[in-house]
């Protein structure tokens, strides 16, 4: 199938995906043709994720008629489709996901080698191993190799395997952005030591390669290289190179960053990896040379030379030592024989290193060491059964399972014989019969969440054919046996009923499926994670009986959502996410009971999401994208003791956290790190990253085109504006200055006025302000005995305007058009009009400013404090009044403006015609240029300014699948050791699952850092999940305190959040509250509450000192089980 060279990448649709893959990989991906074989649970998940990713075409093949039980794992099958070929049914529904992808059913009735020739990658699911081995051999030997991926889920276990051939080139093994470090010192010698700024840890290790730029004096660092790092000392913020001799004497400056080392690898075939799943005959070649990027053909030729050297060796597996001339020459000869160029290959191999790819099998679950090896043997046994009988073992058939155990023993014995004969082979000390039986007895069923997990993993493997990220190059086994019943169920519990839930009955039994159907779950968020969760819930049978899934999301659907949020279509753009997603999930299973809401979860919606709502829930599933919302939901789950399933993704990384009341930590125990703001001085005067200059540009946009017009409209629309302004004394002059500049002499009446305004802004922003900075801090300025302009302070250069410069022109065009739009003036982008408007125009000349530019945040704070103090003391008050009076003379009265209203711009990054990003990108890049910071293209600028979080559908599928597995466990009240927190990184095949941590216990101690002395915990060992419930009715404050006195505890303070209710030691008037009802004090201080209780924090002590107790839940209307309706107030 021919790849299209003309298809462009839709940056609006793929914006978040481009943030993960980059444009180069996307350019390769949109030319890729993929075949997916098998449309059961795993196959349809893979196909869905691939279509969302955007290859040129996805062709599906599965002529098998759909069965009713398939509806439990294939979300595109309905009852009406039973009996029709699976591929024929799902193809048109897959096609709706992405208009840029050609989705077709394979025209041929059977697979042939000629069919495979048409594809860059093939994925096999639901295919016998014997067939897989045959097709894999063909793909491996194909020229060029066809990327081969196989996967399947049998019951609660699954596998994935990939082989990209004998010479796959990986340009970026991990996808992580390189971090730049600022050089502060360098020594000449062998080894040579480099010291960097101490603001962050070094992002490379011994053996990595780095490159330098902007180093003064020791210029050899810039011109030679890449340089191999021989030693890293994080504590000293330094590292060593082999030698810096002859590179010059270091004079200052410089940047250093690691370089991506391309890797070429020979993957093992499926047959080889079956015998030796730890690498087989695989090896790799690391090539730290830019020629790899520019001449990948020569890199592949060089690797072919290395392969030929190995094959021609006496043992057939000797790898060359490229430091030996005879080995190097031999490899070059072999490379030239297959089309390599002698000089190019020789230069490349001199810098390369060759090593075997020998590794332990991936162990995703830290609690199951040795399980992947057992699963490898178990799957071989089940496949041997299929080869022998033509079908998988029957569900829960004990005889079939026993036969599989015998086949496993046979396979292991054959492996041992091979190992005894000198071959590398996996041999188990003992076959785990229970593992084999579990796989065999459930082989015909599919655990839907595990299908989603493998759907994400396998689709990501296909994308790796582009050379982005590290392929598996072997096996990945994973099981979720913990979700299964711990005891064998009677036949009537697991027998099929001819429904979509038959696989669920086989896995869990009817009783647990009824529990799923009656569950009441709260899903918060209906974006990428939320869509996958709703799909999973519908297929799993969640809320398919008397239960209910309530989903809420306040956002509407945008174009960029369509690339990951697969329940949405183009026609849905602008609609509410929650209602659209709920309707789509309902269409997958008519039994699914789901309620869609559009509220934000926050304190101001607690009257709707009240105690009644929370008490009926069985659990909460978060699908959020920010820390603040996660923390809020966590606090509610802790308050009401509800299980919380938390998850998140970032690019190829995903994680999930299982929070079970009183059994595990809550999310707040170890929350994600919040976003950090850029220091003001860095933004205003000393940027050193493109992120700094673009944020400065974003602030400028907000000032000129949102805040200033909004201030104008406030003046024009508020009758009491001047009276209101008099109350804002400290801000009055600045706000009047804004009005004078916007409505006074600078009020434009023509587009030419707008052009000249934009030109004046250029002069002020990129010339005058920089001259002011250099006037105060000249290039030779010293600070603390060191050059001021060094390390993170990059010296800027004033810019002189030139309309012929495209970036200068972009700035004035965008600024002038936005300014014109503010005033309702017709705009144009014709540069001839700009040239005419600027003919003879001279912007104001520069005069040094007298305003002090702070050197750092500390100085800025002192200047602000001094200014505020002067205001408070009245110094300059008369001056402020005089300035205000002068400014008022420049502002026309409202009635003179004839009903004018300014157009206020609300920033929108995705509208390419509004000029918002044009202005911000031009402004940010101009500032970057004058600070010698690498500029950003339009897409990168949009990603940074729009804070577009890198995201891909594959990671979402992986993460939500793992969370859904945890839902089974939570509803079954599984023990803590069965639960799992997970972290995965699809780029590097890193999967880590571990038992959740128990909650941190508050215990008594001899010295508490906060208290500064001994502290006692009452009760001993309570956690954040615990509360002290007081239900004595509407008692007085004193009676409440007496309750604790009876326990030997004296209450010195009662608080409700940040509100102080009772603290007679601090406030003498509080003593009067002792005889008031505690509820009355609460209502007076905090306000009315719709609940019949409120939460209190107490400060207490006993005879020995300070005591810590849990928060108090005070029911002011009596015991919870006897209270009346909710209420509160005076």
Cα–Cα distance for residue pair 1062/1051, rounded to 1 Å: 9
- Spatial distance between the Cα atoms of 1090 and 1121, rounded to a whole number of angstroms: 17
Closest to 929 (Cα-Cα) out of 765, 788, 700: 765
Pairing outcome for strands 238-241 and 192-196: antiparallel
The helix or strand, by DSSP H or E, that contains position 991, with its residue range, turns out to be strand 990-994
CA atoms within 13 A on the CB side of 480: 31
Give CA torsion, residues 258, 260, 264, 266, to 10 deg: 80
Query: Which residue(s) pair with 265 in the sheet?
Result: 168, 284
Cβ atoms of 817 and 834 within 8 Å: the answer is: no
Q: Are 174 and 464 in contact (CB under 8 A)?
A: no
| Separation of alpha carbons 279 and 473, rounded Å | 8
- The structure tokens 């017709």 sit at 826
Q: Which residue has the tokens 């615990």?
A: 1026
Cα–chain center distance at 677: 19
Radius of gyration over every alpha carbon of the chain, rounded to an integer in angstroms: 34
Work out the burial of residue 422: count CB atoms within 10 Å of its CB; fewer than 13 is exposed, 13-18 middle, 19 or more buried. Answer: exposed
- Separation of alpha carbons 387 and 375, rounded Å: 18
Rounded alpha-carbon distances, angstroms, from residue 594 to 5, 516, 758: 44, 14, 53
What is the Cα 423 distance to its own chain's centre? 43
Q: How far apart are CA 567 and CA 48, in angstroms?
A: 11
Cis peptide before 226 (omega within 30 of 0): yes
CB atoms within 10 A of CB 773: 18
- Cα separation, 160 vs 951, whole angstroms: 23
List, in order, residues 6 or more apart from 770 with CB less than 8 Å away: 796, 797, 798, 799, 930
Compute φ and ψ for 404, nearest 5 degrees: -65, -35
Q: In a 3-state reduction of DSSP, which class is residue 849?
A: coil
Beta-carbon contacts of residue 485 (< 8 Å; ≥ 6 apart): 508, 509, 512
C-alpha span between 809 and 837 (Å, rounded) = 13
Q: Hey, what's the torsion of the CAs at 510, 516, 518, 519, to 10 degrees?
A: 160
Q: Where in the sequence numbering do the catalytic residues fall?
A: 681
Per-residue tokens: 1039: 């009676």
H helix runs in 1028-1109, sequence order: 1037-1045, 1078-1085
**Which residue from 1016, 1018, 1054 is spatially nearest to 1036, judged by alpha carbons?**
1054
Rounded CA separation 1092/1079 (Å): 10
Are the beta carbons of 193 and 230 closer than 8 angstroms? no
Question: How far apart (Å, rounded) are the C-alpha atoms in residues 333 and 330?
Answer: 5
Residue the block writes with tokens 């065999």 = 440
What is the C-alpha to C-alpha distance for residues 833 and 881, in angstroms, rounded to an integer? 42
Q: State the pairing for strand pair 157-163/147-154.
A: antiparallel
Neighbours of 84 (CB within 10 A): 12
**Do residues 383 and 394 lie in contact, with contact meaning Cβ atoms separated by under 8 Å?**
no
> What residues are paired with 477 via a beta bridge?
159
């Amino acid at each position: 199938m021919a790849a299209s060279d003309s298809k462009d990448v839709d940056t609006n649709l793929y914006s978040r995906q481009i943030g993960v893959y980059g444009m180069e990989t996307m350019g390769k991906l949109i030319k890729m043709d993929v075949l997916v074989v098998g449309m059961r649970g795993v196959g349809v998940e893979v196909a869905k994720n691939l279509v969302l990713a955007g290859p040129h075409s996805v062709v599906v093949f599965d002529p098998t008629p759909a069965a009713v039980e398939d509806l439990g794992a294939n979300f595109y099958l309905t009852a009406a489709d039973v009996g029709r070929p699976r591929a024929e049914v799902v193809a048109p529904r897959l096609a709706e996901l992405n208009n840029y992808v050609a989705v077709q059913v394979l025209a041929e009735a059977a697979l042939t080698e000629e069919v495979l020739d048409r594809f860059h990658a093939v994925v096999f699911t639901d295919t016998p191993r014997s067939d897989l081995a045959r097709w894999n051999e063909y793909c491996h030997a194909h020229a060029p190799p066809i990327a081969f991926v196989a996967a399947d889920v049998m019951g609660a276990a699954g596998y994935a395997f990939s082989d990209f051939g004998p010479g796959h080139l990986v340009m970026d093994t991990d996808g992580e952005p390189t971090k730049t470090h600022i050089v502060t010192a360098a020594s000449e010698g062998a080894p040579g030591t480099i010291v960097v700024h101490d603001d962050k840890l070094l992002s490379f290790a011994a053996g990595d390669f780095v490159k330098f730029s902007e180093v003064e004096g020791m210029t050899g660092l810039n011109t030679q290289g890449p340089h191999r790092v021989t030693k890293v000392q994080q504590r000293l913020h330094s590292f060593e190179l082999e030698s810096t001799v002859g590179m010059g004497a270091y004079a200052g400056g410089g940047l250093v960053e690691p370089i991506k080392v391309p890797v070429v690898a020979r993957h093992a075939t499926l047959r080889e990896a079956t015998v030796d799943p730890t690498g087989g005959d695989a090896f790799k070649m690391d090539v730290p040379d830019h020629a790899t990027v520019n001449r990948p053909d020569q890199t592949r030729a060089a690797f072919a030379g290395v392969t030929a050297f190995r094959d021609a060796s006496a043992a057939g597996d000797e790898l060359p030592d490229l430091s030996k001339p005879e080995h190097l020459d031999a490899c070059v000869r072999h490379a030239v024989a297959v089309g390599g160029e002698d000089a190019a290959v020789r230069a490349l191999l001199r810098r390369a290193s060759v090593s075997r790819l020998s590794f332990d099998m991936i162990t995703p679950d830290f609690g199951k060491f040795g399980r992947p090896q057992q699963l490898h043997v178990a799957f071989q046994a089940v496949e041997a059964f299929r080869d022998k009988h033509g079908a998988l073992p029957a569900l829960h058939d004990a005889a079939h399972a026993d036969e599989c155990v015998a086949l496993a023993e046979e396979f292991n014995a054959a492996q041992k014989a091979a190992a005894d004969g000198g071959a590398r082979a996996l041999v188990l000390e003992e076959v785990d019969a229970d593992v084999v039986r579990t796989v065999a007895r459930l082989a015909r069923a599919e655990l839907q969440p595990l299908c989603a997990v493998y759907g994400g993993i396998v689709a990501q493997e296909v994308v790796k054919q582009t050379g982005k990220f590290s392929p598996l190059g072997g096996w990945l086994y994973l099981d979720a046996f913990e979700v299964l019943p711990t005891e064998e169920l009677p036949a009537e519990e697991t027998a099929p009923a001819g429904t979509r839930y038959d696989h669920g009955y086989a896995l869990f039994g009817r009783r647990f499926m009824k529990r799923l159907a009656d569950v009441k779950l709260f899903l918060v968020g209906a974006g990428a994670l939320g869509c996958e969760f709703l799909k999973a819930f519908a297929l799993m049978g969640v809320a398919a009986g008397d239960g209910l899934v309530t989903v809420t999301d306040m956002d509407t659907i945008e174009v960029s959502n369509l690339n990951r949020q697969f329940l949405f279509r183009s026609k849905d753009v602008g609609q509410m996410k929650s209602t659209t997603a709920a309707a789509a999930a309902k269409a997958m299973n008519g039994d699914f009971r789901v309620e869609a809401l559009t509220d934000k979860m926050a304190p101001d919606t607690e009257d709707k999401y009240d105690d009644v709502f929370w008490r009926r829930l069985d659990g909460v599933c978060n699908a959020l994208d920010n820390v603040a919302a996660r923390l809020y939901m966590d606090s509610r789950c802790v308050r009401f003791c509800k299980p919380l399933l938390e998850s998140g993704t970032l690019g190829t990384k995903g994680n999930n956290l299982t929070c079970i009341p009183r059994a595990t930590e809550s999310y707040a125990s170890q929350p994600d790190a919040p976003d950090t703001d850029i220091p003001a001085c860095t933004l205003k005067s000393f940027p050193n990253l493109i992120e700094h200059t673009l944020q400065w540009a974003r602030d400028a946009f907000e000032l000129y085109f949102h805040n200033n017009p909004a201030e104008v409209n406030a003046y024009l629309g508020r009758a009491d504006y001047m009276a209101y302004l008099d109350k804002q004394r400290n801000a009055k002059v600045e706000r009047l200055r804004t009005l004078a500049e916007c409505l006074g002499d600078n009020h434009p009446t023509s587009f030419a006025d707008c052009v000249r305004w934009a030109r004046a802004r250029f002069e002020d922003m990129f010339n005058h302000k920089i001259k002011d900075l250099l006037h105060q801090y000249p290039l030779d300025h010293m600070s603390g005995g060191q050059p001021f302009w060094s390390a993170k302070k990059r010296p800027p250069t004033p810019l002189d305007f030139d309309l012929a410069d495209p970036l200068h022109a972009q700035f004035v065009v965008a600024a002038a058009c936005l300014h014109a739009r503010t005033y309702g003036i017709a705009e144009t982008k014709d540069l001839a009009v700009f040239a005419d408007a600027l003919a003879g125009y001279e912007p104001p000349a520069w005069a040094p400013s007298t305003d002090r530019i702070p050197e750092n945040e500390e100085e800025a704070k002192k200047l602000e404090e001094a200014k505020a103090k002067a205001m408070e003391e009245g110094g300059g008050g008369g001056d402020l009044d005089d300035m205000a009076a002068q400014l008022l003379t420049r502002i026309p009265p409202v009635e003179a403006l004839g009903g004018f209203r300014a157009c206020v711009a609300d920033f929108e990054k995705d509208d390419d015609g509004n000029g918002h990003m044009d202005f911000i990108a031009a402004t940010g890049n101009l500032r970057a240029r004058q600070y010698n910071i690498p500029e950003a293209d339009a897409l990168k600028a949009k990603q940074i300014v729009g804070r577009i979080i890198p995201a891909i559908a594959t990671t979402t599928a992986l993460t939500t699948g793992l969370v859904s597995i945890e839902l089974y466990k939570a509803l079954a009240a599984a023990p803590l050791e069965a639960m799992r927190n997970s972290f995965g990184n699809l780029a590097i095949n890193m999967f880590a699952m571990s038992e959740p941590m128990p909650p941190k216990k508050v215990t008594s101690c001899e010295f508490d850092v906060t208290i500064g002395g001994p502290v006692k915990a009452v009760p001993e060992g309570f956690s954040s999940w615990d509360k002290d419930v007081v239900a004595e009715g509407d008692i007085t404050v004193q009676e409440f305190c007496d309750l604790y006195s009876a326990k030997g505890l004296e209450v010195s303070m009662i608080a409700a959040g940040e509100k102080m209710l009772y603290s007679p030691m601090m406030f003498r008037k509080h003593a009067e509250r002792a005889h008031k009802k505690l509820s009355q004090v609460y209502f007076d201080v905090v306000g009315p509450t719709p609940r019949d209780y409120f939460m209190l924090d107490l400060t207490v002590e006993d005879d020995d000192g300070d005591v810590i107790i849990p928060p108090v839940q005070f029911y002011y209307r009596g015991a919870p089980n006897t209270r009346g309706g909710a209420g509160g107030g005076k």
